[in-house]
Amino acid sequence: MELCFIRGLLFVALAATTFGDDGQVTFVSELSSKPAQKLSKYGWFGNVRLQRFHIPEETAVARWLFSVTKGHKFNCGQHNVTIHIRWGAPPVINPIGSVFPNATLWSPCLSLTLPVTSHSSTTFNLSNPASGDWYVGAHLPEDDGRIEQKGFPSCSYFFQPQLSIRRAVDTPILQQGTFLQQTAAPDKPARLKLYVPEFASSLSVSVTDCSSGEGGADSGNCSLVLRLGSTSLQEGPVTVNCSGISCSAVLSSPAWDTWLRVIVESGQDNRTVTFNVVSNYTVGCKPKSVGLTADDDINKLRGNSSYTNTTSAANSSAVTEPVAFRNESASPLLLLPASACVWSIPVLYEEVDVLSLRFTPVNGPNVSVTDTHPTLLTYPLYAQATGGTLNLQLTLNTTNVTLGNSSSVVACLSPWAPVLELNQSQPCRTALYGGYGVNVNASVPKAVVRLPFPQSTTWYLTLQLICNSSDCGNLSVVSVVPEVFISACVEDCGTYGECRLLRSYSYLYAACVCKAGWSGWGCTDSSTAQSYSRQLTATLLLTLSNLFFLPAIVVAVRRYYITEASVYLFTMFFSTFYHACDQPGAAVLCIMDYDALQYCDFLGSVCSFWVTILCMARIGDTFKYTLFMLGALLIAMSMQLDRKGLWNLLGPILCSILIMVTTWVYRGVQQRNCYPPSWKRWVLFLIPGVLCALIGVCLYIFAETEDNYYYTHSLWHILVATCVVFLLPPKEKNREAFGWTRGWSWSWRPRVCGYTLCQSSKDELYTVT
């Protein structure tokens, strides 16, 4: 069925390619598909199935097909699958309504809900999408806390996204100041594109000489719609409704160094409109040219001591005596050319670790900010870094200067283009995209902004000194310390969280997994947090419940089952310290690596069942200890392969039960009686022991949830240890302490002429007469 579906999409693609030419541009279709992935209930961002799609330039229509298929045939009811879509970075979601950390800013992404019974699908169409990477995430509703054992059948749903695009391949290019004649019909808009260079401060697109091509009174009223930009779900294009024969759209602070899409649509039915379109941009803000020599930059990277001293002195003079700038290295702030309106500071891009980047101004951490020109810092952010958190910490340096209460340093962090005119009323926003504004002053000398999953583009930080009065008096330059860096998680997820690195094919991203009831993007939401007393109670229950193995150990030793007693001791020890290390929060004690403790706990638990049931089989010592060793080695191997697999527990139990039943049946047939022959053994020991084991296994598999875990799992420890006391067979008649048979004894024997008087354990087979 899937093959037929793909063939159908290919037919649609070929049809669109063949018949999609509207006389102005040619369209082609492209298809991309991702493999189906099993969905999980949402507990943290690691439960989201994330897929990345790339949409090329000049895409007219993007069409997603989302399919969800149920994996099992039994009735699971109806579940809603939530699908999130975002451009430029993974979606920042909050399905459970938790509180975000302080100073963390985020914008909701587009979310779709797909009800699923057995098989469901839905489509999502997007006209004129922004080019670049698009991210699709899907998950089931919030996790109910039930712990599902691996290997048991459960309700499983598989999510598969597919993308079909329709792309223009010969879009006309709108040149600066050059008129271009175009036509637009109701179903065939005019599509153009223009390039916006770096440092462009404004852009205008004008439509003139509009005519409908038909005579009449309405020939000069074209009713056009002019759209500039693309659709990114969070931000849309700038739209201007034109009436008459001309109109224009003006963008202040357009996106730099990018292609801008221009679409002109006709609003008149069954009429083709002809018009001329022209674009003009203004580059009114260029920094001072640095020339072609790179020696100064190399010296900055090398950390030349003479340069560092000069820079430090210059920064000091900039703060204390702003009118005394004469040194060439410090003078750009006051000696900008007439065509420049910004002081651009070069930034060092340093990769520290995976999802860990740091940006540092090459002139040092202190950056001078003036009231006459904005200070600009540029931070290129590539797609590999969008899976982390962008952090901005802006600190006012008040060491050598005191800023008045009426003055402040205003900062704007914006993507794609900077905001070059900052004042108290100017919003931190460019023509097409929003920014994030902060300010520092004498009363609030530090500001912090955190952006989870920042979009892949060039980010710009603009700084300027703002005074409420007409001028700032004698203080025209202040020093601030902007710290911009990428971290994997917000403050490393705090005390009650762990930052984990996730992967979707070749794309890496990070998220916080919280513990002890804490929640949120940075594990800072304490609305459902566990108190310390509850954490301590959980730790004590899960660890002290293992002391119920002590009666089993005592019984095994008194009946001379020393090997079995050593296995129970091993299980008790590592189960105690594994659960002491496994607990979230503050009540934690780890005596060795967590993974090693978990492995030993699982190994000891399964080996306890193995040796107990084999001991009940009453087989010969040689055969029994051979099975002990062989089974322990096979169990250790299976634990290494799949530690939490269901058959790692059921396999040894079923094999040992099969051996036990075989030996019991053999002895029953040989003795012509039920084995064990005593009804007291069945009623007082075997049946209670089996009931304890069955109840414990049922609790372990079906009843455990995250809320009652420390109750049910502690009861599991008690029941398993109790069933061992009931199921261990009585002491064998020919077995003494430490497993030695009657042929050996520590008692004193008299010696006669160097010979020992020995007692034969063999029976008399004949009589001497």
The 10s digit of each residue's pLDDT in 599-613 is 999 999 999 999 999
- Span 744-757, mean pLDDT? 46
**Contact at 8 Å (CB) between 206 and 247?**
yes
Instruction: Measure the CA angle with vertex 239, ends 238 and 245; round to 5°.
Output: 130
pLDDT of residue 741: 45
- Per-residue pLDDT tens over the stretch 623-671: 999 999 999 999 999 999 888 887 888 889 999 999 999 999 998 888 8
Higher pLDDT, 299 or 617: 617
Nearest CA to 506 out of 158, 51, 111 is that of 51
Q: Give the 3-state secondary structure of 396-442.
A: ECCCCCCCCCCEEEEEEEEECCCCCCCCCCCCCECCCCECEEEEECC
Nearest CA to 166 out of 336, 16, 333, 331 is that of 16
- Span 576-595, mean pLDDT? 86
CB neighbour list of residue 713: distance below 8 Å, 6 or more residues apart: 542, 579, 700, 704
* Number of H-type helices and E-type strands within the chain: 12, 33
- Per-residue pLDDT tens over the stretch 137-194: 999 998 777 777 776 767 888 999 999 999 998 889 999 889 998 888 888 889 999 9
pLDDT of residue 220: 62
pLDDT of residue 427: 80
pLDDT of residue 549: 93
Q: Is 73 left (phi over 0), alpha (psi -120 to 50) or beta?
A: alpha
- How far, CA to CA in Å, does 628 sit from each of 552, 663, 740, 741, 761? 18, 16, 18, 20, 28
Lowest average pLDDT, out of 262-271, 328-337, 351-360, 492-501, goes to 328-337
Tokens of 696: 């414990």
- Per-residue pLDDT tens over the stretch 106-115: 888 999 999 8
Indicate the SS3 state at residue 105.
coil
